[in-house]
């Protein structure tokens, strides 16, 4: 990249871009750019040419049209919490940060719909809906900081996907500026639609189609009652069997989560969570719904858990105990991260019935390769979250950690699962996409991408494999986790 001497072509681009917008919206100083060099996957770093801070949808449209005219790559950015390098800048490209587009444009409690700008924080939607007894269901653990735009781009999940689905199941419509500069509106306020599901195609595009400007979300009534149980088991396999038994029983819990020994140890240390001693695994099951339904279902759940050979079963007796269970669960990831200078987090999916087998293999590999690995995951969805610990200063440690990560991803594919359940492919897993899809299938995905973005300027280098790209891995905690603002699942 050429340096920004005032005569360089890049400097001229920045000048033209600056002229396009009200003063102060374009940042190009080295110190200003440094803050945007990476996302939650801090191993990837690149210096953009400039960072644009639009305040209105029209600003965003103008910038995207400018990029299109100049064939300049751009990356949309919400809060930069992507764990797969999705919002890492393109060297020499533009970063368009959407945090100032943070208005809730409409919230209609009678229709249970909210229309929001992309920079609105996930939890802010629920906060705004709360006075009406409503909430926005998708709850990634980063929900206090990540944006709806980022959620839409990645089809973010959370702890309650089993019953409620992912982001895509709650997005009714999207207004977006595509990489071509065209402004489109897909879907609408209705929970029904006619014709091809353009909204569904847009959600999960990983920023490769364009930039979402307005998102219509469905809101749901908040569950009246929760029944949250924590059960400790001697072995991970027993916990896995208990999941199978719960699922086979015909109950539909809101969440089913598992934490393994290393995760328990870390959570105990970090938030003083108290777990049954001598357990290699803890299972969390949460029922929710009208109080009468929960009361009836909990009788069945209690019986199933009692028969599952637990060391101990602890139902939350009140809201405070429920919160404590979730606090331990949600802090586990960051807590494990604190045990080690560096780590890689994966989010592959395996068929639920093969969870035990997958965990056994991961544990055997971890011993064999001498790499520590903690597991905290959405057991109800078969969505693993192995956290692979290493010390980047130790020669060969990163390579060993990456080798384990690679084996886990391949295991997920072999078992008929997926390389990612909710964090997206991004840069991190792009080399694995061809192991999940055939060349023809990748070609089809690329053609779709080209239909939305013929110049390939929207978030290039993500999702699809890049010849000769270096393999990189996650180092350490996200700065916001370090500060204790967020925790990860």
Ligand X SMILES: Cc1cc2nc3c(=O)[nH]c(=O)nc-3n(C[C@H](O)[C@H](O)[C@H](O)COP(=O)(O)OP(=O)(O)OC[C@H]3O[C@@H](n4cnc5c(N)ncnc54)[C@H](O)[C@@H]3O)c2cc1C
| Binding window for other proteins (CB under 8 A); candidates: 38-46, 115-123, 181-189, 271-279 | 181-189
Residue 97's binding partner among ligand X, other proteins, none (Cβ under 5 to 8 angstroms by kind) is none
**Nearest-angstrom CA–CA distance, 154 and 449:** 15
What does the alpha-carbon distance between residue 75 and residue 39 come to, in Å, rounded to a whole number? 12
- CA-wise closest residue to 146 among 113, 116, 117, 119: 119
Residue 451: contacted member of other proteins, ligand X, none (CB under 5 to 8 Å, by partner type)? other proteins
* Min separation Cβ 35 and ligand X, Å: 13
Positions in the binding site for ligand X (CB under 6 A)? 39-40, 75-83, 86-87, 98, 118, 140-142, 146-147, 149-151, 153-154, 156-158, 206-207, 211-212, 422-423, 459, 478, 481, 486-489
Listed ranges 35-43, 196-204, 271-279, 332-340: which one lies at the site for other proteins (CB under 8 A): 196-204
To ligand X, the closest distance from the beta carbon of 186 in angstroms equals 13
Distance CA 475, CA 326 (A): 25
Residue 459 within binding range of other proteins, rule CB under 8 A: no
> Measured between alpha carbons, how far is residue 449 from residues 118, 158, 177 in Å?
21, 27, 14
Stretch 225-254: interaction string toward other proteins, x if CB under 8 A: -------------------x--xxxxxx--
Burial of 88 (0-12, 13-18, 19+ CB in 10 A): buried
How near is the Cβ of 443 to other proteins at its closest, in Å? 8
Q: How do strand 26-27 and strand 50-52 relate by DSSP bridges?
A: antiparallel
Q: What is the CA radius of gyration of the chain?
A: 23
Q: Least Å distance between CB 89 and other proteins?
A: 22
**Region 141-160 residues binding other proteins, contact defined as CB under 8 A:** 154-155, 157
Q: Given the rule CB under 8 A, which of 37-45, 132-140, 362-370, 400-408 is the region that contacts other proteins? A: 132-140
The DSSP call for residue 461 is: T
Contacts (CB under 8 A) with other proteins, residues 286-305: 289-293, 295-297
**Site for other proteins contains 475 (CB under 8 A):** no
Cβ atoms within 10 A of the Cβ of 445, count? 15
Q: Does 184 bind other proteins (CB under 8 A)?
A: yes
CA-based nearest residue to 374, from 484, 476, 384: 384
Q: Which of 124, 178, 379, 397 binds other proteins (CB under 8 A)?
A: 178
The verdict on 350 binding other proteins (CB under 8 A) reads yes
- Rounded-to-integer distance, Cα 5 and Cα 137, Å: 49
Q: For residue 277, count CB atoms less than 10 angstroms from its CB and return exposed for 0-12, middle for 13-18, buried for 19 or more.
A: exposed
**Which residue lies nearer to ligand X by CB, 8 or 482?**
482
Counting contacts by CB under 8 A, is residue 414 touching other proteins? no
Pairing of strands 94-97, 50-52: parallel
Q: How far is the CB of 181 from other proteins (least distance, A)?
A: 10
Residues 259, 359 contacting (CB under 8 angstroms): no
DSSP state of 222: P
Q: From the list ligand X, other proteins, none, pick the one residue 182 interacts with, judged by a Cβ distance below 5 to 8 Å according to partner type.
A: other proteins
In 3D space, the residue among 225, 263, 218, 246 whose CA is nearest the CA of residue 162 turns out to be 246
Contact call for residues 109 and 172 (beta carbons, < 8 A)? no
Give the one entry of ligand X, other proteins, none that residue 59 binds, where binding means its C-beta sits below a cut-off of 5 to 8 angstroms depending on kind.
none
Output the smallest distance, CB 170 to ligand X, in A: 13
Per-residue binding string, other proteins, 78-117, x by CB under 8 A, is -------------------------------xxxxx----
Between 12 and 451, name the residue whose CB sits nearer to other proteins.
451
Least Å distance, CB 253 to other proteins, is: 10
Residue 22 engages other proteins in binding (rule: CB under 8 A): no
Interface mask toward other proteins for 415-454; x: CB under 8 A? -xxxxxxxxxx---x---x--xxx-xx--xx-xxxxxx-x
- Output 57 or 279, the one with its CB closest to ligand X: 57
The distance of closest approach from Cβ of residue 320 to ligand X in the complex, given in angstroms and rounded to an integer, is 23
> Please, which residues have CB within 8 angstroms of residue 173's CB and are 6 or more apart in sequence?
185, 186, 187, 188, 189, 199, 215, 216
* Minimum gap (Å) between residue 242 Cβ and ligand X: 22
Q: Which is nearer to ligand X, 128 or 174 (CB)?
A: 174
DSSP H or E run through 386 = strand 386-390
Query: Are 257 and 284 a contacting pair, CB within 8 Å?
Result: yes
**What is the token pair recorded at 74?**
């751009």
Q: State which of positions 29-68 bind other proteins (CB under 8 A).
A: none
Tokens for 347, please give them. Answer: 């989010």
């Amino acid at each position: 990249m050429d340096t920004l001497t005032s005569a360089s072509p890049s400097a001229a681009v920045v000048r033209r871009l600056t002229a396009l917008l009200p003063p102060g919206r374009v940042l190009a100083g080295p110190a200003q750019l440094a803050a945007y060099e990476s996302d939650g996957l801090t191993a990837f770093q690149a210096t953009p040419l400039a960072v644009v801070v639009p305040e209105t949808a029209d600003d965003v449209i103008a910038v995207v049209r400018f990029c299109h005219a100049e064939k300049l790559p751009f990356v949309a950015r919400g809060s930069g919490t992507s764990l797969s390098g999705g919002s890492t800048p393109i060297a020499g490209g533009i970063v368009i940060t959407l945090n100032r587009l943070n208005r809730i444009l409409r919230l209609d409690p009678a229709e249970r719909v909210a229309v929001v700008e992309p920079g609105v924080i996930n939890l802010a939607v629920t906060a705004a809906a709360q006075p009406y007894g409503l909430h926005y269901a998708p709850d990634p653990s980063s929900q206090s900081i990540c944006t709806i735009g980022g959620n839409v781009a990645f089809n973010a999940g959370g702890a309650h996907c089993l019953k409620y689905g992912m982001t895509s199941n709650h997005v009714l419509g999207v207004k977006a500026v595509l990489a071509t500069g065209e402004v489109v509106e897909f879907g609408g306020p209705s929970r029904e639609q006619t014709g091809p599901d353009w909204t569904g195609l847009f959600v999960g595009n990983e920023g490769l189609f364009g930039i979402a400007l307005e998102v219509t979300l469905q809101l749901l009534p908040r569950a009246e009652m929760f029944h949250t149980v924590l059960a400790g088991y001697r072995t991970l396999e027993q916990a896995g069997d208990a999941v199978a038994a719960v699922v086979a029983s015909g109950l539909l819990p809101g969440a089913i989560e598992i934490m393994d020994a290393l995760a328990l140890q870390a959570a105990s240390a970090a938030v003083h969570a108290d777990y049954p001693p001598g357990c290699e695994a803890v299972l969390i099951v949460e029922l929710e719904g009208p109080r009468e339904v929960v009361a009836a279902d909990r009788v069945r759940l209690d019986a199933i858990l009692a028969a599952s050979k637990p060391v101990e079963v602890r139902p939350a007796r009140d809201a405070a105990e429920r919160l404590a269970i979730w606090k331990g669960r949600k802090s586990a990831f960051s807590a494990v991260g604190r045990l080690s200078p560096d780590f890689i987090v994966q989010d592959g999916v395996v068929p639920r019935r093969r969870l035990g087998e997958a965990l056994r293999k991961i544990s055997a590999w971890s011993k064999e390769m001498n790499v520590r690995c903690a597991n905290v995951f959405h057991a109800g969805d078969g969505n693993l979250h192995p956290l692979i610990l290493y010390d980047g200063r130790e020669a060969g440690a990163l390579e060993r950690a990456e080798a384990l990560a690679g084996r886990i991803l391949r295991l997920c594919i072999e078992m008929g699962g997926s390389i990612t359940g909710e964090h997206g492919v991004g840069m991190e897993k792009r080399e694995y996409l061809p192991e999940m899809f055939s060349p023809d299938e990748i070609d089809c995905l690329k053609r779709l991408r080209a239909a939305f973005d013929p110049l390939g300027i929207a978030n290039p280098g993500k999702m699809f494999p890049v010849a000769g790209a270096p393999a990189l891995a996650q180092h350490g905690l996200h700065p916001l986790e370090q500060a204790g603002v967020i925790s990860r699942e």
